Amino acid sequence: MCGSTKCDTLTQVVSAMHSYPIMSDRIKGTLVIYALLGLLVTIKIMMTQNEFPLFDFATWDIQWSNAWLWTSVVDFYGAALCFSAIIIATEKNSLHGLFWVILLCSLGSPVSCAYICYRCVYHRTLELSHSNGNGNVNGNSMRTYQTVDMNSSY
């Protein structure tokens, strides 16, 4: 029915899917919510693009401007919700994470940049910890660095 190359590729994909750990219900719910969010934002952008083409740059047309303004707002909050999920998931103190999310959603990019600076200074990394799906962390999100004595001879 299918060429050997197609069957081999399909077999590899199916076996790769089975090698991943089973997802928790919480992760499945998060996956569904963010997949739907991505789909809805994409639909909004496509509908606006279809009715008011972006590259006409009809900035003098109030309907064109309003349509793209609202589409930009939807797009921003779609991205902000994704970033917020990462903040909530990685901050150990939930109130601290909620504080950053509220600031991010109300003040936008400057707070996003401030959060990245905060992560670099206080956590010494932007790396997220790796989990095997069972809640066990493989590796440490905090990298350790060897200090070098510049005065010693090698």
In tens, the pLDDT along 38-88 reads: 999 999 999 999 999 988 888 899 999 999 999 999 999 999 999 999 999
pLDDT at 149 over 60: no
pTM for the model: 0.66
In tens, the pLDDT along 111-135 reads: 999 999 999 998 888 887 655 555 5
Give the separation between CA 129 and CA 107, rounded to whole angstroms: 27
Residues in the chain: 154
148: exposed, middle or buried (C-beta count within 10 Å: 0-12, 13-18, 19+)? exposed
Q: Which residues pair with 75 in a beta bridge?
A: none
Look at 19-33, 80-94, 107-121 and tell me which has the smallest mean pLDDT. Answer: 19-33
Radius of gyration of the chain (CA): 22
CA 41 to chain centre: 14
